[in-house]
Amino acid sequence: MKLLRWHSDPFLSMLLSLLLFCSLINLSNPLMMIGRIHVMAANSNEGQGGEGGGGIGSTKVEVNSTGEKAASATRNNNRREYSRSKPVNYSTLEEKEKRQLEWMVRNTGNLLGPESEEAGSMSERKALLTFDLMRAWSRRAARKESKAPHVVERLLQKLLKETDVGNECLKINTAVYNIVLDSWANSREEGSAERAESILLEMDRMHQQGNMNVRPNEGSYNAVIKAYVKNGGRLIAPPKVESLVSRMERSDVVSPNRRSYNLLLYCLANSSLENAASRAEDALHRMLKLYLETGSPTQKPDINSYNQVLGAWARGKTKGYERRMQSIYEELLKLPKEMDIKPNTNTFKYVHQNE
């Protein structure tokens, strides 16, 4: 990929300008990101949604992170105490939001524009700045008409170009790719699910070719599953999500967790497929079987798992649906006490509305 130009690349210039404009006209939104994004120490999985992803950053950051973590914890405690005693000043929040966006646009332009450093000379500080920017843009991906995922991908390409020429100041691993996947998972853009899946396949290819730093984990798969649930459509999403979960079930290195299955159950319960309810019930039983085999708390069904299947039967109203709902409800009541899964108001709503 050619080095991007801030002024000579019309797409990048237009993209960053559009993002700046769209965000500034929505500053009244109370759900906003405040202040500069903090650097995440290497080998941290925070925000990546899975195990084994590794952290983001360089070896030097890894070595020097202990004292910084303690100082950061103290600062965070002070901020929490301050926030409890001070009322929220929304004009200040808007100003912080504006400064944050200006910082993102300015530094992204510097990294990708004509004044950027020659490939292979990126410093550790610039590498950490790039990771910060990727996370910051990713968190804006859910905004209406946001093009943030494209910016996140271009920043990843910048990092890949550095590693291609042997720059040892940075480490590209699963956690870095998961930032890109999360941005597409949160995007409203048409084709975002397909783009996320193509990145997942590229990660798998890299791992198969011997790159041990990039291996799809539960967070990687769940991001793609979420993308299909959100943007795949009621006909396309169910078979795609089923295929992804099935691939995880067959894998020796990754296994579906509660989130994987619950996204699948939600997808099936809200689909327009004629046999969606029976497929959801089958997925629930596979989930329960896996938990009983592994005992892993991350794979244990919850009441939402059962409610999604009850809802699928209730919405479909196919032949014999009342009998199937009664069977699932009785199965729920007979679960071992140590699983601590009890009916709630939604459970009773589904059961009693069909009496």
| Token pair 């798969």: residue | 221
Say if residues 309 and 281 touch (Cβ distance below 8 Å).
yes
How far apart CA 311 and CA 213 sit, in angstroms, is 41
Q: Tell me the two tokens of residue 85.
A: 């005693």
How far apart CA 224 and CA 222 sit, in angstroms, is 5
Q: Tens of pLDDT along the chain (355 residues)?
A: 333 344 456 666 666 666 665 555 454 443 333 233 333 333 333 334 443 444 444 333 332 333 444 445 555 565 555 455 566 666 788 888 899 999 999 999 999 988 888 888 899 999 999 999 999 999 999 998 899 999 999 999 999 999 999 988 888 999 999 999 999 999 999 999 999 999 999 999 999 999 999 999 999 999 999 999 999 888 899 999 999 999 999 999 999 999 999 999 999 999 988 899 999 999 999 999 999 999 999 999 999 999 999 999 999 888 889 999 999 999 999 999 999 999 999 999 988 876 5
Q: Look at residue 57 and give its three-state secondary structure.
A: strand
How far apart CA 261 and CA 286 sit, in angstroms, is 9
How far apart CA 166 and CA 69 sit, in angstroms, is 29
Closest CA to 156 of 135, 141, 140, 142: 135
DSSP character at residue 37: P
| Token pair 């597409």: residue | 184
Q: Tell me the two tokens of residue 189.
A: 């853009």
Degrees, nearest 5: CA angle 49-273-307: 55
φ and ψ at residue 202, rounded to 5 degrees: -65, -40
Single-letter code of the amino acid located at 249 = E
The two counts, helices (H) then strands (E), for the chain are: 15, 0
How many residues belong to the chain? 355
Closest CA to 154 of 101, 189, 116: 116
How far apart CA 232 and CA 268 sit, in angstroms, is 12
How far apart CA 166 and CA 328 sit, in angstroms, is 57
How far apart CA 303 and CA 307 sit, in angstroms, is 6
Say if residues 208 and 168 touch (Cβ distance below 8 Å).
no
Q: Look at residue 63 and give its three-state secondary structure.
A: helix
